[in-house]
Amino acid sequence: MSVRFQGRISRQGLPGFTLIELMIVVAIVGILSAIAIPAYRDYTIRSQIAEGINIAAGAKTAVAEYYQQFGAFPADNTTAAVAPALGIRGTYVTSVTVNGADISVLYGNEAHGWISGQTIVLTAADQTGSVTWTCASGGVIQDKHLPTACE
């Protein structure tokens, strides 16, 4: 025995989303994207800058040791006994250059376009026998992208 449906199927009984409901979901996704994408970009740039500060740590140690031993800051990478400037590289760092009390970290390679070609300078200072470091970007890199050590 077979049963045949004899009648019209009503649209009200079918499950699904209305156009308004779908538009609300699209609007919510758009709002979340508008907030998340810039925040993620800032996070990415900040982590790329942090890589440069970390790569410069070896040069910072070498400069501080040189200063402790000779009472002056080294003139260049060779005097500081570190690799040549272009030999100190990273995923986002093109070079690390020692110039007296300054260590310049140049960003390039795969760095975000906002920091590619920009430099952060770490400057050593004698603080009663010990070396302390300050960090500056020359105002080109936005403060919100600088690591805590540079703010």
- The answer to whether position 8 is within a domain reads no
pLDDT digits (tens, 9 = 90+) for 12-62: 656 778 889 899 999 999 998 888 888 888 899 999 999 999 999 999 999
pLDDT above 80 (res 149): no
Mean per-residue pLDDT for 62-87? 94
The answer as to whether 38 is a domain residue is: yes
Residue 96 lies in a domain: yes
In a domain, 37, yes or no: yes
CATH number of 103's domain: 3.30.700.10
Q: For residue 63, tell me if it sits in a domain.
A: yes
Residue numbers of the domain that contains 28: 18-150
Output b/e per residue, 93-119; b: 16+ Cβ within 10 A. Answer: bbbbbbeebebbbbbeeebbebbeebb
- Average pLDDT of 92-96? 96
**Number of domains into which the chain is organized:** 1
Is there a domain that residue 69 lies in? yes
The answer to whether residue 90 sits within a structural domain is yes
Domain assignment present for residue 6? The answer is no
Stretch 4-9: mean pLDDT? 59
Q: Residue 5: pLDDT above 60?
A: no
